[in-house]
Amino acid sequence: MRQWITVFNREMLEYWRNFKWIWVPVIFILLGVTDPLSTYYLPQIIESVGGLPEDATFDIPTPPPADVLMMSLSQYSQLGVLVVALMSMGLISGERKSGAAELVLVKPIRYSTYVTAKWAATSVLVLLSLIVGLLASWYYTNLLFGEIAFGDLLLTLLFYSLWLFYVVSISILLNTMFKTPGLVGFLTILLVILTSIVTNIFDHILDWSPAQLSSYINIVLTEGAIPNELWGTTVVTVLLIVGLLTLSIYTFRAREMA
């Protein structure tokens, strides 16, 4: 346990020194507030840009607050995932490429310790970034569009964070398979997109795919009740994360540092 905390703390220290603790949450805040603000000001923006014929009545209905929060989530599912993939792509692969991992792995430390501590550190960073980002989005949505209950926000956070943990886990697995950070980042994004595509194609059987998390959260926000499928999806996503991590430890152990 001491070794696990050591790796975890070192990772945290690194996030301070390379400012990840600042820029990752800031990106999540900006992604979170973009949609509430731009949607709110959309009529004015269109008007001021002008060019519309005088008689064109341009009536943009104000979306309900739940839709606005969902827009922020879809930002996280696109650009947020991109940021997570890019910031985690060198987590292990970079250390193996440079050789810095050698000095760690000659010490009597378990491979599982190294892999899971790294996963946990990145997940904490991602989770905290998501929390501040969603809080910002929620604040502006409440202010400009109408109230969303804090409880609903918590549920959104709880279930949506699973999706990002899933992305981190994919990244970790690829990190243990390849030594080139760029390749890891690219494949992570590819696999996440693939998850969504496969889920879309086999929509009727993949009720519990992690890619469904957003649509169930939408139901939570609009209907105020947790659909049964969401629990199934939660279990499947947690199992997938555990599976990905187990596979990561296995590949890391099997793969030589050479």
Alpha-carbon 250 to chain mean position: 24
* Shortest Cβ 57–other proteins spacing (Å): 19
167, 205, 213, 36 alpha-carbon torsion, rounded to 10°:
110
Is the CB of 113 or the CB of 218 nearer to other proteins?
A: 113
Which of 12, 42, 86, 177 binds other proteins (CB under 8 A)? It is 86
Position 121 contacts other proteins (CB under 8 A): no
Residue type, 68: V
Is the CB of 44 or the CB of 57 nearer to other proteins?
A: 44
Cα atoms found within 13 Å of the Cα of residue 156, Cβ hemisphere only:
30
Which of 51, 53, 61, 99 binds other proteins (CB under 8 A)? It is 99
DSSP track, 139-166: HHHHHHT----HHHHHHHHHHHHHHHHH
Give the CA distances from residue 73 to residues 85, 140, 160, in Å, rounded to whole numbers and listed in that order: 17, 14, 8
Is the CB of 80 or the CB of 210 nearer to other proteins?
A: 80
For the chain, helix (H) and strand (E) counts, in that order, are: 11, 0
DSSP track, 60-97: PPPPPHHHHHHHHHHHIIIIIHHHHHHHHTTTTHHHHH
Residues 43-82 that bind other proteins (CB under 8 A): 44-45, 47-48
CA triple 199-149-167, angle to 5 deg: 30
* Shortest Cβ 149–other proteins spacing (Å): 22
Which of 54, 61, 107, 205 binds other proteins (CB under 8 A)? It is 107
Which of 90, 142, 162, 240 binds other proteins (CB under 8 A)? It is 90
- The answer to whether residues 65 and 137 touch, using CB atoms and an 8 Å cutoff, is no
Which of 2, 53, 56, 225 binds other proteins (CB under 8 A)? It is 2
By C-alpha distance, which of 174, 192, 21 is closest to 96?
A: 174
Paired tokens of 227: 């659909």
Residues 197-256 that bind other proteins (CB under 8 A): 256
Residue type, 67: D
Which of 56, 60, 103, 205 binds other proteins (CB under 8 A)? It is 103
Is the CB of 107 or the CB of 204 nearer to other proteins?
A: 107
Is the CB of 49 or the CB of 205 nearer to other proteins?
A: 49
Position 183 contacts other proteins (CB under 8 A): no
Position 42 contacts other proteins (CB under 8 A): no
Position 144 contacts other proteins (CB under 8 A): yes
Q: Which residues bind other proteins (CB under 8 A)?
A: 2-3, 6-7, 10, 13-14, 17-20, 22-23, 26-27, 29-30, 33, 37, 41, 44-45, 47-48, 83, 86-87, 90, 94, 98-100, 102-109, 140, 143-144, 256-258
